[in-house]
Amino acid sequence: MIASTFYRHSATSTSSTPSSSTKPHHTTQHTRMSAPTSTVPVTCCGRSGGCVCAKEATCSCGKQPALACNCEKSATENKVDGARCSCNQRAAGACTCSRSSQENTKPSGSTCACGKRSKGK
């Protein structure tokens, strides 16, 4: 699981008394902001032991975990836009886990706006 922390920098400026100095006094305050963490998506495969499919997912060459590619395709492999497979690690239709035979089929019937997922109930 990947977790990281971002810090937001905010500086406040207060002036000393007008007669003593015209230089502003700066105070710095760091506020801890948590970044989104990888959690089990609501669309997960639901198998026991957490999101098994997310652990199995790899980049398209199969050498690295999904979203951690380090080959010449890393610019596109490590970025997923739009519809995703159930584990959220790969683009819809490009799943590499053991559920790929189900995940990579074209949906039949009503689909969502992008056409890559079945329309929700």
Structure tokens at 68: 């951690």
Measure the CA–CA gap between 1 and 54, rounded to whole angstroms.
10
Question: What is the reported pLDDT for 1?
Answer: 42
pTM, to two decimals:
0.48
Do residues 60 and 96 lie in contact, with contact meaning Cβ atoms separated by under 8 Å?
Answer: yes
In a domain, 2, yes or no: no
In a domain, 56, yes or no: yes
In a domain, 112, yes or no: no
Question: What is the reported pLDDT for 40?
Answer: 53
In a domain, 121, yes or no: no
Q: How many residues are there in the chain? A: 121
Question: What is the reported pLDDT for 39?
Answer: 55
pLDDT tens for 27-72 read 444 444 444 445 555 556 655 666 667 778 888 888 888 888 898 8
In a domain, 115, yes or no: no
Question: What is the reported pLDDT for 90?
Answer: 85
In a domain, 14, yes or no: no
In a domain, 116, yes or no: no
Domain count, the chain: 1
Question: What is the reported pLDDT for 58?
Answer: 86
Question: What is the reported pLDDT for 49?
Answer: 60
In a domain, 68, yes or no: yes
Q: In sequence order, which ranges of the chain are alpha helices (DSSP H)?
A: 52-56, 74-77, 100-103
Q: Give the rounded percent of residues in the chain with a pLDDT score beyond 70.
A: 54
Report the run of H or E that residue 27 belongs to, with start and end: strand 24-34
Structure tokens at 103: 């995940």
Mean pLDDT, the chain, whole residue set: 67
In terms of residue numbers, what domain contains 55?
A: 40-105
Among 91, 99, 97, which residue's Cα sits nearest to residue 117? 91
Measure the CA–CA gap between 8 and 18, rounded to whole angstroms.
30
